[in-house]
Amino acid sequence: MANAHASTHSEDKYYVPHDSVWPVFGSATLFIFMIGLCGWLNEWYGPGVFVVGIVMLIALFVGWFNVVIKESQGGLYNMQVDRSFRMGMMWFIFSEVMFFAAFFGALFYARQLSVPWTGGEGVKIFNKLLLWQDYNATWPTNGPAALGPRDDGSFETIPAFGLPAINTAILLLSGVTITIAHHAIKEGNRRILNIFLALTFLLGFLFLGLQAEEYIHAYTELGLTLSTGIYGSTFFMLTGFHGLHVTLGAIMLFVIWLRTLKGHFTPQRHFAFEAVAWYWHFVDVVWLGLFVFVYWV
Amino acid sequence: MANTTTAHTHDDHDHKPHGLKRWLFATNHKDIGTMYLVFACVLFFLGGAMALVIRAELFQPGLQFVDPGFFNSMTTMHALLMIFGAVMPAWTGLANWMVPMQIGAPDMALPRLNNFSFWLLPFAFTLLLLTLFVPGGAPAGGWTLYPPLSLQAGDSFPLTIFAIHLMGISSILGAINVVVTIMNMRAPGMGLLNMPLFCWTWLITAYLLIAVMPVLAGAVTMLLTDHFFGTSFFTASGGGDPVMFQHIFWFFGHPEVYILILPAFGVVSEIIPTFSRKPLFGYESMVYASASIAFLSFIVWAHHMFTVGMPLAGQLFFMLSTMLIAVPTGVKVFNWCATMWKGSISFETPMLFSLAFLFLFTIGGLSGLMLAIVPADFQYHDSYFVVAHFHYVLVPGAVFAIMAGVYYWLPKWSGRMYNEKIGKLHFWLSTIGVNVLFFPQHFLGLAGMPRRIPDYSTQFADWNMVSSVGAFIFGFSQLLFVYVVWNAVRSGEKAPQRPWESARGLDWELPTPAPYHSWETPPSRDVVAHGTVQH
């Protein structure tokens, strides 16, 4: 709080922006995006409105961040504003953690409780005796009705120590490269910064490529799809949302890289870089959870 | 005005942006707060109109006015509108107005994000209200959206889901803003344990919001993929479990009810000391009690679903943890009573609403304890007793506290006093109305009347009629509230700098009406510590 003192100097006032079109434009964007998706899913109309929403979404990010970057480069943000951004980003990441927690919760609940119950464990014995005599409730499962694309209801899973292990190594390596880039930005070593930042998002895109490969393999050869019962549901929703976050993170890293090429950031002031780095580490940690609980154990 | 810092606006501090742009492109915490409050008021009347449809239909046994499907839509929409459209935005509006004023900050920490949070809401509720006009009608499976029923909705289904997503984004961003403002924008000398309790309870509320709104987003996303993309999270044949939805939903849902009530504790903790002319009794214990309630809210969720079947150990755990909440809540109630003890109390409208809160919220809390008892809950579950319980904590609880807050701070906001006579009339009509409305529902529930039904057995006729009469008294007396506020803002008497002479806190150190930019220069340490009035 000592820093709030500084605001008695007029050049160091807390910056309060005015007259921004982006928040209301952003709200309208999300509305178009979502009503586009609704109408498409309900088959009221085609994907047109949704596509307009996507285009507006891109315009939103470009436009809003453009203003923020200009203000930042213009020196309007004092250290207190910087701290607001930092705290905002931390709490945003916390909210993301809780979003993933819901899906991990679903996975644990299904594996530990509801699947064994469906199979007649304990007092639920009547499920076994009356409802699903032939159901062998062991994980991985696609349920008593053996849902999925194959006629015999079978499916295979992806072994942890193949592609997923390689992907783990890739993400962990990208955690190292971004840390090297972070040290470089602090020491003012722009060459190392540029190289290792580029390496980081390249590793991110490589991860995504391999993930796509894995998905294609699952869909075409393993009988493992989104509709392969609870296993397919949890597998694809968890890894899918994670993949979406890797995509966003990699795009963010790419934008930060473009900004470093333009000479933005100083060894002291580089909040945007750090925010993206935190986000990247968060995505990394989620993956470790996925690797252990979805692929491995 | 582009790129104006508060340093510049110092020279022209009543230079507000004019016309539509002031509201569309707002970044000022007071403007955004006003928009939140007006929005909440509009939705309160919309949701209230739906409640009156319900009570009109239930005035007598038999089907009078609406068909059962529409009736169910009304109960569902009434809940969604009141929770996400009326009470939550009203609290965010109050937080927007009061938090910067109370901690000595120039504005909210992230002003553009603030406006984004607000403007998401009209769009979210446009989506939700559109469901009234699509094939299959509005969602009718209850606001809790339990599968498999909710999955069988018509075209309203994705609209409802995405409306909830938008509301969730709005709440999360708004909550992040409150946390960051409180953690980063306090004036020098304003330690965390010097903050007014309204800031404290909102800080805790914001933390709850950030923790659980994403979980709701996850739950409704699973519903969406179950409906459209073939997943089987909630389908037993695929190895999923519909009860799993209830667990995830109530992991959000229980903290959510504290999100609705915690800021009320804050408001009441400001008002009771002012009108008792004594400092709040047990300030720190209030803070710790609020934090304990927040913590406990994460480990009690399954008390909403005792009857769906869960292991005995689970039932015991959730029963006992739920009862534990009575301890910090009791601390609060006793502290409020002790604050009034030997005070020289006067009964202006905000105090009347706060006192009604104290009595009636406690009734709701005690019926909550009854519901926490597993074997008793088997009887009460899904009956009108539950309806009576949560309406007692939400209407004379949260809604009364919001109104108390508006009456209390309106002179500081607008510079004008409201009409005390009409304010008191509004209070008495509301209080009598709300009790006539909800108290008989306890009897109905205990006698076995289920909730969410458009028709009922004739044995329930008398109390339903009483309840409906109360509903119309309560509903229409809220028009008085709008009149009082409108009248005060338009032509009320000029309010003095300190409308309530024993009100303490930085909000009361600002001139009346509060200037457009609150604390452009932070207040001095002396003012933060002692104010400008001798005790």
Nearest residue on chain B to A224, judged by CA atoms? B231
Q: How far apart are CA B335 and CA B486, in angstroms?
A: 34
Name residue B194's amino acid.
N
B494 three-state secondary structure:
strand
B149 three-state secondary structure:
coil
The tens digit of pLDDT for each residue in B481-491 reads 999 999 999 99
B450 three-state secondary structure:
strand
Q: How far apart are CA B405 and CA B94, in angstroms?
A: 8
Q: A248: Cβ–Cβ under 8 A, 6 or more apart, which residues?
A: A279
pLDDT band at B534 (very low <50, low <70, confident <90, very high): low
Is residue A5 pLDDT above 80, yes or no?
Answer: no
Q: With a CB-CB cutoff of 8 Å, which residues 78-117 of chain A face chain B?
A: 80, 83-85, 87-88, 91-92, 94-96, 98-103, 105-106, 109-110, 113-115, 117
Residue whose structure tokens are 């292991």? B311
pLDDT band at B14 (very low <50, low <70, confident <90, very high): low
CB B147 within 8 A of CB B223: yes
Percent of chain A with pLDDT over 90: 90
A223: tokens are 């009988």
B259: tokens are 């999100």
Q: How far apart are CA B395 and CA B51, in angstroms?
A: 12
- Residue A2 touches partner B, C-beta closer than 8 Å: yes
Q: What is the DSSP letter of B115?
A: H
CA distances from A295 to A137, A290, B57, B188, B234 (A): 18, 7, 54, 51, 22
pLDDT band at B529 (very low <50, low <70, confident <90, very high): confident
Say yes or no: A88 and A66 in one domain.
no
Is residue B406 pLDDT above 70, yes or no?
Answer: yes
Contact A110 B25 (CB under 8 A): no
Mean pLDDT of chain B: 94
Q: Of A27, A47, A77, which one is at a domain's C-terminal end?
A: A77
CATH number (1.20.1050.140, 3.40.50.1000, 1.20.210.10, 3.40.50.1980) of B17-530 reads 1.20.210.10
Say yes or no: A207 and A124 in one domain.
yes
B466: tokens are 């009483």
pLDDT band at A9 (very low <50, low <70, confident <90, very high): very low
Say yes or no: A4 and A136 in one domain.
no
CB B171 within 8 A of CB B153: no
Say yes or no: A36 and A129 in one domain.
no
Say yes or no: A190 and A146 in one domain.
yes
The tens digit of pLDDT for each residue in A231-242 reads 999 999 999 999
The tens digit of pLDDT for each residue in A222-267 reads 999 999 999 999 999 999 999 999 999 999 999 999 999 999 999 9
ipTM: 0.94
Nearest residue on chain A to B109, judged by CA atoms? A84
The tens digit of pLDDT for each residue in B20-30 reads 999 999 999 99
Q: What is the mean pLDDT of residues A205-220?
A: 97
Say yes or no: A283 and A219 in one domain.
yes
CB A211 within 8 A of CB A243: yes
Is residue B526 pLDDT above 80, yes or no?
Answer: yes
Say yes or no: A151 and A283 in one domain.
yes
Number of domains in chain A: 2
The tens digit of pLDDT for each residue in A181-197 reads 999 999 999 999 999 99
Q: How far apart are CA B234 and CA B154, in angstroms?
A: 18
Nearest residue on chain B to A119, judged by CA atoms? B239
Instruction: Give residue B310's Cα distance to chain centre.
Output: 31
Say yes or no: A44 and A57 in one domain.
yes
Q: Which residues pair with A258 in a beta bridge?
A: none
A128: tokens are 């076994």
CB B492 within 8 A of CB B414: yes
The tens digit of pLDDT for each residue in B275-311 reads 999 999 999 999 999 999 999 999 999 999 999 988 9
Percent of chain B with pLDDT over 90: 93
Q: Catalytic residue at B329?
A: yes
Q: Which of B127, B225, B229 sits opposite A34 (nearest CB)?
A: B127
B20 three-state secondary structure:
helix
- Residue B497 touches partner A, C-beta closer than 8 Å: no
CB B120 within 8 A of CB B170: yes
Q: How far apart are CA B257 and CA A214, in angstroms?
A: 42
- Residue B45 touches partner A, C-beta closer than 8 Å: no
Name residue B89's amino acid.
P
Per domain, the residue ranges of chain B are: 17-530
Q: What is the DSSP string of B278-337?
A: SPPTTHHHHHHHHHHHHHHHTT-GGGGGGGG---HHHHHHHHHHHHHTHHHHHHHHHHHH
Say yes or no: A91 and A233 in one domain.
yes
Q: What is the mean pLDDT of residues B504-531?
A: 90
**Residue numbers of the domain that contains A238:** 82-296
pLDDT band at A13 (very low <50, low <70, confident <90, very high): confident
The tens digit of pLDDT for each residue in B181-240 reads 999 999 999 999 999 999 999 999 999 999 999 999 999 999 999 999 999 999 999 999
pLDDT band at A145 (very low <50, low <70, confident <90, very high): very high
Say yes or no: A146 and A278 in one domain.
yes
B422 three-state secondary structure:
helix
Is residue B440 pLDDT above 70, yes or no?
Answer: yes
Contact A16 B5 (CB under 8 A): yes
Q: Catalytic residue at B78?
A: yes
- Residue B213 touches partner A, C-beta closer than 8 Å: yes
A56: tokens are 């507006």
The tens digit of pLDDT for each residue in A71-97 reads 999 999 999 999 999 999 999 999 999
User: Number of residue pairs across A and B with CB atoms under 8 Å?
Assistant: 265
Is residue B90 pLDDT above 50, yes or no?
Answer: yes
Say yes or no: A137 and A161 in one domain.
yes
Say yes or no: A87 and A41 in one domain.
no
CB B277 within 8 A of CB B213: no
